[in-house]
Structure 1
């Protein structure tokens, strides 16, 4: 949902547009990766962004979750000097790798590793959002609900004044039948709604940027931002 696939804008692009319009100071999007996922080759080697001028740095992977990125986040933060992380992870973990409790432990590991590289890093974290599997698989839906509860508790437990953690609200009125192209991955309206979830949370909690006012009502195609530098 964050890396996006060939031909898409990505929600990272929507966030970049939003910050350019509403954030008064300089900012930079950073990260060690730049590519999109190419469905034709099943590899993350595409640079075919819908807008080729987008600064496309990120740390996201197709099929990668908390357990995959926890070992990578310290080096990414250290190398890029990121000070704000926008994190949308969990669905792939719960779907294929770990249960809710194990995934929550990987959240703690991720946060600890990020702070080891920058003790003052800020993080905004999105809960697992509606998806097609949760609509049809009741046990999986229960794991998602449990993980989101554990995620909220983890964020509250580990929040620190010098390294704030922020749990965003789920995207407003997110409908998998209109905001995704396959029940999981966002189309254009879904991208806007994901960006809006982060933007509204950062604006309300941290005074970053402004209100997000670009959410469309129709469908179409997929992060990070910062107040100085973001992964």
Structure 2
């Protein structure tokens, strides 16, 4: 049984009524993986905007393994201290990680965010020395279009993240850097300039799926919407 753990911020946890990219990824793997697998993590809920808390189970389609490690407003700085226990508790094999935008927007600059990413990798490996990770760069959002300094910080972080992945990659615990979805359009693929719409969920799942297929031969290339 191959255990995938989605790790992320608001774009990964999703909010009430969403399918989430986690669901799209599950559908893709069901169609193409060919072996037993599941999604794991210590959390299951969506974010409820009316309650301002991660308390909703109102998935657009709840019929999939909803487990994850994601939180609205949580980034590398928040997940680095949690990842070890999460990996140990779930016996995760592969982490699908989409973090960084919230860090850069509210908590840390690009260099500190990159250091927190390195601490995250170290924490995951301390719990499971053969853990594998696929990491998605930060997808520029509407703030990048309006704020040149923020766009520069996002671009710098993505460069530092690529360097961290290259530096930390090793045969027994390989790291993959996914590509930014080439056709991602914040006007079509988000509902507010940041959070994914249904088409955006597909594009994020596609980025992870194609990295897994190209890098490790897991599943096929993405053939979703």
1:13 corresponds in structure 2 to 23
State whether structure 2 residue 111 is matched by structure 1 residue 101. Answer: yes
2:77 corresponds in structure 1 to 67
1:143 corresponds in structure 2 to 153
State whether structure 2 residue 140 is matched by structure 1 residue 130. Answer: yes
Question: Which has the larger share of strand?
Answer: 2
Tell me the number of residue pairs that the alignment of Structure 1 and Structure 2 aligns.
Answer: 215
1:80 corresponds in structure 2 to 90
State whether structure 2 residue 41 is matched by structure 1 residue 28. Answer: no
- For residues 98-153 of structure 1, give each alpha carbon's deviation from its aligned partner in whole angstroms, at most 9, with x where no partner exists: 00000000000000000000000000000000200011001000000000000000
> Any conservation in 1 of the 2:137–2:178 contact (CA below 8 Å)?
yes
> Any conservation in 1 of the 2:189–2:197 contact (CA below 8 Å)?
yes
Q: CA deviation at 1:172?
A: 2.3
1:198 corresponds in structure 2 to 208
2:170 corresponds in structure 1 to 160
State the alpha-carbon separation in 2 of the partners of residues 117 and 175 from structure 1: 37
State the alpha-carbon separation in 2 of the partners of residues 179 and 124 from structure 1: 22
Is the partner of 1:33 in helix, strand or coil?
A: coil
Q: Which consecutive segments of 4 or more residues in structure 1 shift more than 2 A? A: none
**Structure 1 counterpart of 2:67, from 46, 57, 60:** 57
Is the partner of 2:47 in helix, strand or coil?
A: strand
State the alpha-carbon separation in 2 of the partners of residues 118 and 55 from structure 1: 22
Structure 2 stretches of 5 or more lacking a match? 1-10
State the alpha-carbon separation in 2 of the partners of residues 145 and 53 from structure 1: 37
TM-score normalised by length of structure 2 = 0.95
**Structure 1 counterpart of 2:188, from 155, 178, 181:** 178
Structure 1 stretches of 5 or more lacking a match? 216-231
State the alpha-carbon separation in 1 of the partners of residues 170 and 75 from structure 2: 24
Larger RCO, structure (CA 8 Å, separation 6 or more): 1
Q: CA deviation at 1:53?
A: 1.3
State the alpha-carbon separation in 2 of the partners of residues 33 and 53 from structure 1: 16
**Structure 1 counterpart of 2:223, from 173, 196, 213:** 213
Is the partner of 2:69 in helix, strand or coil?
A: coil
